[in-house]
Amino acid sequence: MSRGGAREPSLSIGDVADRTGVSPATLRTWEARYGFPTSLRLAGGHRRYAPSTVDEIGAVLGYRAQGLHMDAAIAHVRTRASSGHRSLLAGLRATRPALRSQVLTKKTILALTRALEDETCARADDALLFATFQEQRFYDRARLRYDDLAGSVEQVVVFADFPRHGPVDRPVVEVAVPATAPLQREWVLVTHSPSHGVLVAGWEVPGQARTPDLDRRFETTWSVDPDTVLDAARLCVDLLRTYGVQTSAGADGAAGSAQRAALADRLDRRLDAQVAPARDPWEAISLFDRLLRYVDQG
């Protein structure tokens, strides 16, 4: 046992093979190709696995039986493993620990997210769009813009400190987040579609009570990598369940929770059926050109 109470990796590759029915050779191939399952290497090179690996492999096999591609099944299991987190960044750190970040001011992130939103709108290809607003007053300033964006995408879901959840039959689904939730410190925009996807996520650096609003600093990461964006979109659906189904807000009761759960299930199916699009360097160039214009305009 570790000091935190977690069980140390203790299973050999043979143990895992016996318990899952997946041969050692296949397990080695999966690890080389997909980075799954993860193992601890001993000094002699032998692999050791945590007991939870058996359940994770079982879940992957279950998703494969449902028709998911191997990479999608693994990503789904990884996302589910991080779903206990109540923030997007915590989930991303668990699934994509190599993501790089840099500190940016609010005015720079505003230009970045505006460029992402407009690029998504210009493509008009059934995108899913998820966004967080630390406070409802910030979303109120962007409400008309998001109503317009909703006309060009498949679904928009926004998270903020709303007094209650919004109905799911609106162009933009509003999800109430408690003021003390970790998500309230984060700036998130995720767009995902059959042809492209973009992620920007940051957390507000502490100790800025006297900093002018546009100069507030956020440790920020962004990516156009399809697999990373797909992971982020799945995490956003999990956040919809966490805050929209499991957290009580508003007076719609069980009926409203059931509607948001059904919405989350529909979005999950949409993402499960979606093969990550090929990396397109021109997408990054187009986005960067738009970003430069917005930064230049201030």
Q: Tell me the average pLDDT of the chain.
A: 83
What is the pLDDT confidence band of residue 283, given thresholds at 50, 70 and 90?
low
Are 67 and 75 contacting, i.e. CB atoms less than 8 angstroms apart?
no
The answer to whether position 252 is within a domain reads yes
Residue-level pLDDT at 3: 38
The answer to whether position 171 is within a domain reads yes
Q: Which of 10-14, 42-46, 69-73, 279-283 has the lowest mean pLDDT?
A: 279-283
Residues 35 and 176 in one domain: no
Q: What does the pLDDT average to over 16-22?
A: 93
Are 150 and 156 contacting, i.e. CB atoms less than 8 angstroms apart?
yes
Residue-level pLDDT at 2: 37
Q: Which of 114-123, 163-172, 209-218, 223-232 has the lowest mean pLDDT?
A: 114-123
Residue 95, domain CATH = 3.30.870
Residues 112 and 179 in one domain: yes
Residues 157 and 43 in one domain: no
Residues 28 and 151 in one domain: no
Residues 264 and 129 in one domain: yes
Number of domains the chain is built from: 2
Residues 31 and 117 in one domain: no
- Select the more confidently predicted residue: 267 or 59: 267
Residue 80 has pLDDT above 70, yes or no: no
User: Which domain does 153 fall in, by range?
Assistant: 88-297
The sign of the dihedral angle between the CA atoms of 146, 151, 157, 162 is positive
What is the pLDDT confidence band of residue 152, given thresholds at 50, 70 and 90?
confident
> For the segment 184-233, what is each residue's pLDDT rounded down to a tens digit?
889 999 999 877 788 999 988 888 888 998 899 999 998 888 888 888 99
Residue 247 has pLDDT above 70, yes or no: no
Residue 45 has pLDDT above 90, yes or no: no
- CA distances from residue 54 to 72, 81, 91, 227 in whole angstroms, order as listed: 18, 13, 21, 24
The answer to whether position 145 is within a domain reads yes
The answer to whether position 5 is within a domain reads no
Phi, then psi, of 267 in degrees rounded to 5: -65, -35
Residue 28, domain CATH = 1.10.1660.10
Residues 195 and 284 in one domain: yes
Question: Cβ atoms within 10 A of the Cβ of 205, count?
Answer: 13
Q: Which of 28-32, 124-128, 155-159, 279-283 has the lowest mean pLDDT?
A: 279-283
